[in-house]
């Protein structure tokens, strides 16, 4: 029995088809079939049902599969450990980013380029999604690390956080909006938004979660009339008089350039937070651990900068 035969067996199971598995492994289909039959002869049992278009596991195959995967994982672990000692880190990192993370709050693209230059054998798989779904993916182990927006300052169960951005959220309106006249020292209470059409990020994002959670504590449900995935688009909608945009804080000059007035929100105030998230017990592979160490070292917590959208 050879490791490559176990790898072939697992590939056929995952693809449920010899043709697709052969293409994935860059082998001929007859050659792949011959290797699987040789493995079955050595074990003394058929592992696969070959009738019909889809290949399925026999009872013995189902029992053998977990051990085959464990043996392959162990072999990969041996190889990775040896590579670490020689400086040839390899592996795969699954990284999640909220929309706009690579261009707004921090220069993620440059950091990933630097990491790739140091570790060219490491494959980085990027996912862009809402914060809620990515936090769940990190908890399941589908993602190693994720940059997410936070609806709650406390980390979800089983996860650790490294805060990247923490800024006030403000109400952005046209200069002639009634809220401007009602504001005191440039601030309005959260309850002033109770009966107003709001412009915000979609459900599942950290900023939207903050808005709903805080309004619920104040005794009302926010009416979000317009949604967009980019705070800059939210500001544009507000400038056209479509409602009150709840966005990260802008400087007076930035607001004026967009034809807006921004008002602080108090009683309570709202915060937009972005953080790195990973499992508390740590990413499973050395490549993911190395990337996490780099990100935590280089991404210093920022304030009064525009966070990404999640």
The pLDDT of residue 152: 85
Domains 90-164+273-303 and 165-272 are alike in CATH topology: yes
The pLDDT of residue 150: 92
Domain 3-86 CATH assignment equals 1.10.10.10: yes
Element (H, E) at 138: helix 131-140
Kindly tell me the burial class for residue 288, based on how many C-beta atoms sit within 10 Å of its own C-beta (0-12, 13-18, 19 or more). buried
Q: Delimit the domains of the chain by residue range.
A: 3-86, 90-164+273-303, 165-272
Please give the CATH architecture assigned to the domain spanning 90-164+273-303.
3-Layer(aba) Sandwich (3.40)
Phi and psi torsions of 29, nearest 5°: -65, -45
pLDDT along the chain (310 residues), means of 10: 90 89 88 92 92 85 92 84 68 86 66 90 90 93 93 87 91 96 94 96 92 94 93 93 94 91 93 93 86 89 52
Q: How far apart are CA 93 and CA 7, in angstroms?
A: 21
The pLDDT of residue 304: 46
Q: How far apart are CA 234 and CA 14, in angstroms?
A: 43
Query: CATH assignment of 165-272?
Result: 3.40.190.10
Predicted TM-score (pTM) of this structure: 0.68
User: How, if at all, do strands 187-189 and 270-279 pair?
Assistant: unpaired
> What DSSP letter does each residue of 165-230 carry, written as one string?
EEEEEEEEE-TT-HHHHH-BTTEEEGGGGTTS-EEEPPTTSHHHHHHHHHHHHTT----EEEE-SS
Q: How far apart are CA 287 and CA 276, in angstroms?
A: 16
The pLDDT of residue 26: 87
């Amino acid at each position: 029995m050879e490791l490559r035969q176990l790898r072939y067996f697992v590939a056929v199971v995952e693809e449920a088809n010899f043709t697709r598995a052969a293409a994935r492994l860059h082998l001929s289909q007859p050659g792949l079939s011959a290797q699987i039959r040789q493995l079955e002869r050595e074990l003394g049992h058929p592992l696969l049902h070959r009738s019909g278009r889809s290949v399925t596991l026999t009872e013995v195959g189902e029992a053998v599969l977990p051990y085959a995967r464990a043996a392959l994982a162990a072999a990969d672990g041996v190889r990775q450990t040896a590579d670490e000692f020689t400086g040839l880190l390899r592996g795969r990192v699954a990284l999640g980013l909220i929309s706009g993370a690579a261009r707004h709050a921090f220069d993620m693209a440059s950091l990933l380029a630097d990491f790739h230059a140091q570790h060219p054998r490491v494959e980085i798989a990027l996912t862009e999604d809402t914060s809620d779904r990515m936090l769940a993916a990190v908890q399941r182990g589908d993602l190693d690390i994720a940059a997410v927006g936070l609806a709650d300052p406390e980390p979800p169960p089983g996860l650790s956080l490294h805060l990247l951005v923490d800024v006030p959220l403000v109400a952005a309106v046209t200069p002639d909006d009634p809220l401007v006249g009602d504001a005191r020292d440039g601030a309005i209470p959260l309850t002033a938004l109770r009966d107003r059409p709001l412009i915000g990020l979609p459900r599942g994002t950290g900023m939207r979660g903050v808005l709903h959670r805080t309004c619920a504590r104040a005794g009302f449900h926010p009416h979000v009339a317009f949604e967009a995935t980019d705070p800059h688009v939210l500001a544009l909608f507000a400038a056209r008089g479509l409602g009150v945009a709840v966005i990260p804080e802008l400087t007076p000059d930035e607001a004026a350039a967009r034809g807006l007035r921004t008002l602080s929100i108090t009683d309570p105030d709202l915060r937009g937070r972005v953080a790195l998230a990973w499992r508390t017990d740590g990413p499973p592979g050395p490549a993911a651990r190395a990337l996490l160490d780099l990100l935590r070292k280089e991404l210093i917590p920022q304030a009064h900068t525009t966070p990404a959208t999640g």
